[in-house]
């Protein structure tokens, strides 16, 4: 079953191919323009497609010739961390190695635009990290469109993020813009037995800070307990004195504390909750209208 975001990418490619076909039909000059399109745009599918009887080196040579670009195979494979697999058939590669080869092939000829459809789906955590490192090196100087179900992946790799829900755009923007726009906050977790004292310290520096009660942890009897405060994103210039004071109290009043940034996953859950709430509200309104009409 084709997902909506995959369909969107496929439609984009179909339109480009149709445009290229028009260029070809209109003469030699436009044929050159169509070749430029091939060189500036690459698309990497979620499924890795290779000629299983060819080696890693064969794929690099074949596809670089197809793009009419000269490459140093050893340099490319060294950058991809695939030099030891140079003479190996692609059927013998691991999932992570195939993904790296796909991305390496996509960057042959230094295309301006690359479309990546879930490049790390099905990979183990270590392989995912290696793909991230590769993409962070490759992203400079080009535009990469990347689709993913992993919120941490989008948070690390993307400069601008677009979240789709049921085929509709929920939000679009940079990480800081989205988190500010949807009123996301930093979390300050403190392990202490003197909650009220810590609350006074935090409030003295940052009155806007809000304490988040956790009934489960408060019901547990222990020497130290964890408590959480939410700090506004736009107040980061006032965090230093709070952290300095918490450092001073560490080892006596405080056992330990942790300061964490809001994640894209939290934003996604926040949006999902809003969408569900709005849908339920609309259903209730429609039911009321039906009752009134009866």
Read off the pLDDT of residues 152-189 as tens digits, 9 standing for 90 and up.
888 889 899 888 777 778 888 887 787 777 777 888 99
Residue 131 in domain = yes
- Are 231 and 93 found together in one domain? no
Residue 28 in domain = no
- Are 124 and 254 found together in one domain? no
The number of distinct structural domains making up the chain is: 2
Residue 74 confidence (pLDDT): 94
Residue 207 in domain = yes
Residue 161's domain is classified under what CATH number? 3.40.50.300
- Are 120 and 195 found together in one domain? no
Residue 242's domain is classified under what CATH number? 3.30.70.60
- Are 112 and 240 found together in one domain? no
Instruction: Residue 79: give the domain boundaries.
Output: 1-8+35-179
- Are 141 and 2 found together in one domain? yes
Residue at which a domain ends, from 179, 204, 226 = 179
Tens digit of pLDDT for each residue in 88-134? 998 899 888 888 888 888 888 888 888 888 888 888 888 888 889 88
Residue 277 in domain = no
Sign of the torsion angle spanned by Cα atoms 145, 122, 152, 77 = negative
Q: Which residues in the chain land under pLDDT 50? A: 1-2, 17-39, 216-223, 277
DSSP string computed for the chain? ---HHHHHHHHHHHHHHHHHHHHHHT-HHHHHHHHHHHHHEEEE-SS----TTSBHHHHHHHHHHHTT----HHHHHHHTT-GGGTTSBGGGS-HHHHHHHHHHHHTTT--SEEEEESTTTT--HHHHHHHHHHHHHH-TTSEEEEE-S-HHHHHHH-SEEEEEETTEEEEEEEHHHHHHHTT-EEEEEEEES-HHHHHHHHHHH-TT-EEE--HHHHTS--SSEEEEEEEEGGGGGGHHHHHHHHHHHBTTTEEEEEEEPPPHHHHHHHHHHHHHHHHHHHHHHHHHHHHHH-
Angle between helices 4-25 and 28-40 (to 10 degrees): 150
DSSP code for 83 = G
Residue 75 confidence (pLDDT): 92
- Are 199 and 234 found together in one domain? yes
Residue 205 confidence (pLDDT): 92
- Are 154 and 247 found together in one domain? no
Residue 164 confidence (pLDDT): 79
């Amino acid at each position: 079953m084709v997902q909506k975001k995959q369909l969107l990418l496929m439609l984009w490619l179909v339109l480009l191919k149709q445009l290229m076909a028009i260029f070809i039909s209109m003469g030699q000059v436009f044929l050159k323009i169509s070749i430029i399109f091939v060189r500036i745009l690459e698309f990497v599918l979620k499924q890795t497609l290779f000629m299983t009887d060819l080696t890693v080196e064969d794929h690099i040579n074949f596809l670089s010739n197809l793009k009419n670009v000269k490459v140093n195979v050893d340099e490319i494979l060294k950058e991809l961390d695939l030099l030891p697999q140079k003479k190996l058939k692609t059927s013998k590669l691991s999932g992570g190695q195939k993904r790296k080869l796909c991305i390496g092939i996509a960057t042959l000829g230094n295309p301006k635009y690359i479309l990546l459809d879930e490049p790390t789906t099905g990979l183990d955590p270590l392989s995912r990290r290696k793909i991230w490192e590769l993409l962070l090196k490759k992203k400079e100087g080009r535009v990469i469109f990347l689709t993913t179900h992993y919120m941490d992946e989008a948070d690390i790799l993307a400069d601008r993020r677009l979240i789709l829900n049921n085929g509709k755009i929920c939000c679009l923007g940079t990480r800081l813009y989205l988190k500010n726009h949807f009123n996301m906050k930093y979390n300050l977790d403190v392990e202490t037995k003197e909650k009220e004292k810590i609350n006074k310290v935090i409030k003295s520096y940052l009155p806007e800070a809000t304490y988040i009660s956790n009934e489960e942890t408060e019901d547990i009897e222990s020497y130290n307990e964890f408590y959480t405060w939410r700090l506004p994103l736009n107040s980061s210039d006032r965090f230093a004195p709070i952290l300095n004071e918490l450092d001073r109290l560490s080892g006596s009043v405080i056992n330990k504390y942790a300061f964490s940034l809001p994640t894209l996953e939290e934003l996604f859950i926040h949006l999902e909750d809003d969408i569900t709430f709005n849908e339920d509200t609309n259903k209730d309104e429609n039911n009321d209208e039906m009752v009134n009409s009866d």
